[in-house]
Chains A and B, each alone.
Chain A
């Protein structure tokens, strides 16, 4: 069962993709008005970029057969996902009021999906580290 072996990595890939695509679509930050670029716009760009990086890592973890390399990529994904979770509001500041979309929608969804990605990556890494060489 080749597919069954890849299930943890596929879950990781789904969360990473959701983080990457969701950050500029269904849970995007505030829309700018006119020529004004909102403070949160840069946080959104950073989350999208980190989401793309996580997606790349997840794909690589599926393609590469060596379990130690897989585990290494997944552990790196854990750290990247944790970093992604703290981008909005901590690493890059958001807009001024809690009622704004970047605070009420973008930040909670980013934290949620980044946490799920980190958990999925950690679970995959543990599975691959525990698995014996076949």
Chain B
């Protein structure tokens, strides 16, 4: 019985239809488990990176901007859009409101449909001297100060081959590409306040009929505030809204929770999807068990012959187990590889379709999830094999070979 170890492999190769059917079921099992877990973790990663990114307690925007449906998406998620207020409001808040630890202003400008692209690019100008929101994030990729016409781009923006980007006819030097956040901030560009002023001037010259910014030296889009320890954030928000006219202060947490609540609606849907996937997983496991049992019943005579040739019951059970393990391992690996390939190829399309922050887990996390999925698939296969192996070990050789086994 030396050759029985190679028999499992030969059986798999010589019966391609049977083997492929079991392999496909195992691959489907792995695909549903791994695909579902990737989807859920990508959505939750996206929301985490969104909350971690802003770093401010309060955002102040021009009151007129609050009538824009998507003003919070512009600030939180970096969707292309622009609004402005006089910089005097920044000075007023800075000088007259108590409880402010850090304060900085940002300026937004959405590019027109440039020659490079048919979509708009959000440009965010920040003041390196006061900034506490963008800089810590930029510093992960670029530690020097940004100079005039320097830019740092989100991970989804592809610069020209000479690492430049042309916006409104102005050529910007790309100094660094930021880490992925899974939000539309990945499609944004960051410049310092001086570069922003030049871009706004260029925008005004190139688009005389569009919304003009009268004085680029005297406008800001939003003011970000970090509240001092010991002060209540809601009190500071109320103070600003009471004493500074024409602006609206909003607690950042409320803006994020708006995005989060839309996400929680989706999480409910994802929850249902997960339940469906678990059901599919269980059904696949049952299907695999049924298919394997049927195959084993058909092969009773083959096993009886092996018994006559001297294979022990334990050896026969091991042989059945080995064959199933090989098939489920191959199927599990195939399912995981297909999921990984589809995730790598279609992540941008999925993110775009669901319209929510979507950030795939790190390669290490994905490798761990893939390993667990393959183990689960092999375990499900092993369970069905154990049942079949037990039945095989009980066969009565004489009855089967005489054809009286029913």
B117 touches A96 (CB 8 A): yes
Residues of chain A within 8 A of B158, CB atoms compared = 93-98
Contact of A95 among B117, B159, B161 (CB under 8 A): B117
Residues of chain A within 8 A of B348, CB atoms compared = 98-99, 103-104, 108
Closest to A37 in B: B115
Residues of chain A within 8 A of B187, CB atoms compared = 97-99
A96 touches B116 (CB 8 A): yes
Most-contacted residue by chain A among B119, B159, B184, B186 (CB, 10 A): B119
A108 touches B118 (CB 8 A): no
B119 touches A97 (CB 8 A): yes
B198: min CB distance to chain A, Å: 20
B119 touches A98 (CB 8 A): no
A97 touches B117 (CB 8 A): yes
B205: min CB distance to chain A, Å: 20
Asked if A33 lies at the interface with its beta carbon under 8 angstroms from chain B, I say yes
A123: min CB distance to chain B, Å: 13
The proximity string for A residues 47-77 relative to B, scoring 1 for CB distances below 8 Å and 0 otherwise, is: 0000000000000000000000000000000
Asked if A91 lies at the interface with its beta carbon under 8 angstroms from chain B, I say no
Q: In the complex the two chains form, what is the Cα distance from A103 to B159 in whole Å?
A: 14
Q: How many residues of A contact B (CB 8 A)?
A: 22
Residues of chain B within 8 A of A122, CB atoms compared = none
Closest to B159 in A: A96
Contact of B349 among A36, A93, A108 (CB under 8 A): A108
B209: min CB distance to chain A, Å: 16
A62: min CB distance to chain B, Å: 23
Q: In the complex the two chains form, what is the Cα distance from A32 to B118 in whole Å?
A: 7
Residues of chain A within 8 A of B117, CB atoms compared = 30, 38, 95-97, 100
B157 touches A96 (CB 8 A): yes
Residues of chain A within 8 A of B157, CB atoms compared = 96-98
Asked if A19 lies at the interface with its beta carbon under 8 angstroms from chain B, I say no
Q: In the complex the two chains form, what is the Cα distance from A95 to B155 in whole Å?
A: 14
Asked if B199 lies at the interface with its beta carbon under 8 angstroms from chain A, I say no
Asked if A14 lies at the interface with its beta carbon under 8 angstroms from chain B, I say no
A95: min CB distance to chain B, Å: 5
The proximity string for A residues 83-116 relative to B, scoring 1 for CB distances below 8 Å and 0 otherwise, is: 0000000000111111110011101100110000
Closest to A32 in B: B118
Asked if B113 lies at the interface with its beta carbon under 8 angstroms from chain A, I say yes
Q: In the complex the two chains form, what is the Cα distance from A38 to B158 in whole Å?
A: 14
Residues of chain A within 8 A of B159, CB atoms compared = 96
B156 touches A108 (CB 8 A): no
A105 touches B349 (CB 8 A): yes
Residues of chain A within 8 A of B231, CB atoms compared = none
A33 touches B118 (CB 8 A): yes
Q: In the complex the two chains form, what is the Cα distance from A94 to B158 in whole Å?
A: 9
Q: In the complex the two chains form, what is the Cα distance from A39 to B68 in whole Å?
A: 33
Asked if B246 lies at the interface with its beta carbon under 8 angstroms from chain A, I say no
Q: A98-B187, A99-B187, A100-B117 are in contact. Are A112 and B156 (CB under 8 A)?
A: no
Closest to A111 in B: B345
Residues of chain A within 8 A of B121, CB atoms compared = 96-97
B116 touches A104 (CB 8 A): no
Asked if B390 lies at the interface with its beta carbon under 8 angstroms from chain A, I say no
Closest to A107 in B: B345
A98 touches B118 (CB 8 A): no
Residues of chain B within 8 A of A33, CB atoms compared = 113, 118
Most-contacted residue by chain B among A33, A36, A98 (CB, 10 A): A98
Q: In the complex the two chains form, what is the Cα distance from A100 to B352 in whole Å?
A: 9
Closest to B349 in A: A104
The proximity string for B residues 139-159 relative to A, scoring 1 for CB distances below 8 Å and 0 otherwise, is: 000000000000000011111
Contact of B156 among A36, A93, A99 (CB under 8 A): A99
Asked if A31 lies at the interface with its beta carbon under 8 angstroms from chain B, I say yes
- For this complex, 24 residue pairs linking A to B, each with C-beta atoms less than 8 Å apart, are A30-B117, A30-B118, A31-B118, A33-B113, A33-B118, A38-B117, A93-B161, A96-B114, A96-B159, A97-B157, A98-B156, A98-B157, A99-B119, A99-B187, A99-B348, A99-B352, A100-B118, A100-B119, A104-B346, A104-B349, A104-B352, A108-B345, A108-B346, A108-B348
A95-B117, A108-B348 known; 15 other A-B pairs, CB under 8 Å? A30-B117, A30-B118, A39-B116, A93-B158, A96-B116, A96-B121, A97-B119, A97-B121, A99-B187, A99-B352, A100-B117, A100-B119, A108-B345, A108-B349, A112-B345
Residues of B within 8 A of A (CB): 113-119, 121, 155-159, 161, 165, 184, 186-187, 345-346, 348-349, 352
